[in-house]
Amino acid sequence: MLRGRAGRLRGSSFFRRLNALVFVTVMILFRTLLNRDLVADPLANVMGSWGIWVVAPDGTRTLTTECIENVLMMAPFTFMLLWAFGDRSVPPMRAGTAVWRSARAAFLFSLAIETLQLLLRLGTWQLSDLAYNTLGGALGGAAYCVVRAVAAKGGKAGA
């Protein structure tokens, strides 16, 4: 079984891309669901934090990187999603379509994660997470379009 899988990994570009997508997806699920403690009230902070500074009730400001982490976590997911399945669309996707589809996929994946966090009481359900993950997904789609355009231009220059 292991020898057959290694052969497919070497021989199939799609299989390598799919394995990369599965790896990124598992890392996201580990970070968002599996590596969490139980929370008494998952709806305690529905709005979340909308910046890199959190102001405590006593007025002190604390630097937080949750928004940056959420954007950077979802960008590779949508990039890999388009990389694995985007080339299979006929005719090829335009840049706007790719960004829209990646933002929609990131929103739905993030909504599923947030809902599981709510039902399993693993973390808090936050609208800011949905917004930042959707933004990260759109950025991943835009990065895919840039890489695809550079690769297409490089292929034409070499021909």
Mean pLDDT by 10 residues, the chain (159 residues): 62 86 93 84 82 85 88 94 78 84 96 92 89 96 92 66
Question: What is the predicted pLDDT for the residue at 158?
Answer: 43
Q: What is the pTM of this model?
A: 0.82
- What span, in angstroms and rounded, lies between the C-alpha atoms of 20 and 80? 7
Which pLDDT value is given to residue 35?
Answer: 82
Instruction: Pull the structure tokens for residue 95.
Output: 């840049």
Asked if 44 and 124 touch (Cβ cutoff 8 Å), the reply is yes
Q: How many other CB atoms are found less than 10 A from the CB of residue 78?
A: 31
The separation between CA 59 and the C-alpha centre of its own chain, rounded to angstroms, equals 33
Own/partner contacts of 121-124, CB < 8 Å, gap of 24 or more, are 121/38, 121/39, 121/40, 121/42, 122/33, 122/36, 122/37, 122/38, 122/39, 122/42, 123/32, 123/33, 123/36, 123/39, 123/42, 124/39, 124/41, 124/42, 124/43, 124/44, 124/45, 124/46, 124/48
